[in-house]
Amino acid sequence: MAARTEIANFQGRAGRIECAIDWPQDPPAGWALILHPHPLHGGTRNNKVVTTMAQACIQRGLAAVRPDFRGVGRSEGEFDGGRGETEDIQDLVAQFRERHPQAAAGKWVLGGFSFGTAVAAQLHAGFAQAGEPLPDAMILVGTAVKRYQFRAVEIPADTLAVHGEQDEVVPLAEVLDWARPIDLPVVVVPGAGHFFHGKLLVLRQLVRARLSTLGGAPS
């Protein structure tokens, strides 16, 4: 559990982007940016997959930043199919680094669930093209990168991709077709659907295992 959760506002291209920032008990060893599922289908920063990923990050001593995309909750603007959302989060990253230099100086984890994986991939591509610092780890759950891709992306070879065997929203076969040409392994959780009902503990353990490779003691 987080020692405290702070509600913070950042400035996106269409106005306010409201975030929850979960702070660990000790000074953070870095930070994680966790992006939520589709805004038009009930996706918010409080989605259980998102909060499960955030919990795993907090337990590894990272601050977990969970923004609401534009048009969700108190975040301003309207859904933009991934383009505007990517621009907003790009600005958010710069603002977070300026406000919280201690956390930003540590390890950076970029994670997303469903639609959030597409924004994460586009964000990574934008930073790579601009020569900006890239995340130390990338975690994609219920991957939907291909559905909302508007420019070429390169997925790091050490990315953790987790998918449910019985995903009813993004079929496993679709994800394997995406992963096969880039030789990206996909961890399949047997019996899991898109929202990992009854499998969230397994998901948290997978995320924690990936984070353990970054070094540092669990929080």
| CATH code where residue 26 lies | 3.40.50.1820
Whether 178 maps to a domain, the answer reads: yes
Could you tell me the two tokens for 177?
């077709």
In a domain, 152, yes or no: yes
Could you tell me if residue 218 is inside a domain?
Answer: no
Q: Which two tokens stand for residue 71?
A: 């048009």
* Cα–Cα distance for residue pair 112/128, rounded to 1 Å: 18
Question: Which 8-state DSSP code applies to residue 169?
Answer: S
Residue 219 lies in a domain: no
Report whether 119 contacts 112 (CB < 8 A): yes
- Decide if 104 is inside a domain: yes
CA dihedral 29, 128, 96, 158 (to 10 degrees): -30
Find tokens 């597409």 and name the residue. Answer: 118
Please name the residue that has the structure tokens 């383009």: 83
Is residue 217 a part of any domain in this protein? no
Q: Can you read off the two tokens belonging to residue 25? A: 């008990």
Cβ proximity of 19 and 94 under 8 Å: no
Q: What are phi and psi of 144, to 5 degrees?
A: -130, 30
136 found inside a domain: yes
Number of domains in the chain: 1
DSSP bridge partners of 65: 21, 33
Q: Which domain holds residue 167?
A: 4-212
pTM of this structure: 0.95
Per-residue pLDDT tens listing for the chain (219 residues): 568 999 999 999 999 999 999 999 999 999 999 999 999 999 999 999 999 999 999 999 999 999 999 999 999 999 999 999 999 999 999 999 999 999 999 999 999 999 999 999 999 999 999 999 999 999 999 999 989 888 889 999 999 999 999 999 999 999 999 999 999 999 999 999 999 999 999 999 999 999 999 975 554
